């Protein structure tokens, strides 16, 4: 299928699909005219990529662990490949630190708005 067809099937823009290709996340075949030729398995691959992005993983991390992604009746999950647990724990730690900074900023804002 062409890039426009994959975009329609997945709800992901052609631009994003080209970005995934540039980052090594998708590797379409090329037809005799040089157009990208995607397979049905690329629909699943795009869903896995989107799920991993929405979970906060960057494309470099996704590229490392995309083969660990499994899609079943309950959606996409990650099999614990080597080093994956450490990377996920590091991401969770960074998110917790960001949340703490945001809570502190909210506290300070509330203090500014408090009556004298």
pTM of the predicted model as reported, rounded to 2 decimal places: 0.78
Assigned token pair, 23: 């980052």
pLDDT at 116 over 70: no
Q: Residues of the chain with pLDDT > 70: what percent?
A: 99
Q: Are 48 and 72 in contact (CB under 8 A)?
A: no
pLDDT at 78 over 90: no
Q: Which of 24, 23, 26 is CA-nearest to residue 7?
A: 26
**Residue whose entry in the numeric block shows the structure tokens 């502190």:** 104
Number of Cβ within 10 Å of residue 100's Cβ equals: 10
DSSP state string for 65-81: HGGGEEEETTEEEE---
Give me the pLDDT at residue 63, please. 94
Residues 21-58: tens digit of each pLDDT: 999 999 999 999 999 999 999 999 999 999 999 988 99
74 Cβ contact list (under 8 Å, min separation 6): none
Half-sphere exposure of 3 (CA within 13 A, CB side): 18
The confidence band for 15, taking pLDDT boundaries of 50, 70 and 90, is very high
Give me the pLDDT at residue 27, please. 95
């Amino acid at each position: 299928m062409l890039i426009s067809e994959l975009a329609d099937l997945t709800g992901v823009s052609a631009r994003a699909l080209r970005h995934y290709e540039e980052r090594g996340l998708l590797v379409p075949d090329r037809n005799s005219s040089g157009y990208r030729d995607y397979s049905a398995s690329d629909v699943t691959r795009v869903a896995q990529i989107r799920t991993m992005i929405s979970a906060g993983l960057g494309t470099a991390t996704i590229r490392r662990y995309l083969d660990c992604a499994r899609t079943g009746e309950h959606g996409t999950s990650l099999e614990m490949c080597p080093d994956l647990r450490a990377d996920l724990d590091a991401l969770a730690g960074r998110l917790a630190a960001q949340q703490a900074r945001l809570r502190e900023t909210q506290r300070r804002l509330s203090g500014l708005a408090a009556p004298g």
